[in-house]
Amino acid sequence: MIKLRILSAIALLAAFGAMTSAETVNMSGATAASDDGRPSRGMTQASVESRYGSPISVEAPVGEPPITRWVYSDFVVFFEYDRVIHAVVKR
């Protein structure tokens, strides 16, 4: 009975040791925002308009929190309140 408990404890420790190992990921060269001409996350509506001009159209806010969509010729920008949450390139 004691041998079974010792073997169980060893197996449990070995499993725990395997779960705690980690791999380091090298993120050198990665940037927070791509440099493809779209507005980046966190920009304000005022900064988007000053940099990219007035949008072709503005869709009214929808939902809670309010999500607004600005349409430009090459991309569409989505805002939550007055901050960019996503910008997608048109096909």
Residue 64 DSSP label? T
Domains in the chain: boundaries: 38-91
Tokens encoding 49: 């308009």
Label residue 30 by pLDDT band (50, 70, 90).
very low
From 45, 42, 46, select the one nearest 32 (Cα to Cα): 42
Band the pLDDT of 2: cuts 50, 70, 90.
Answer: confident
In which band, very low, low, confident or very high, does the pLDDT at 31 lie, cut at 50, 70 and 90? Answer: very low
For residues 7-32, average pLDDT = 60
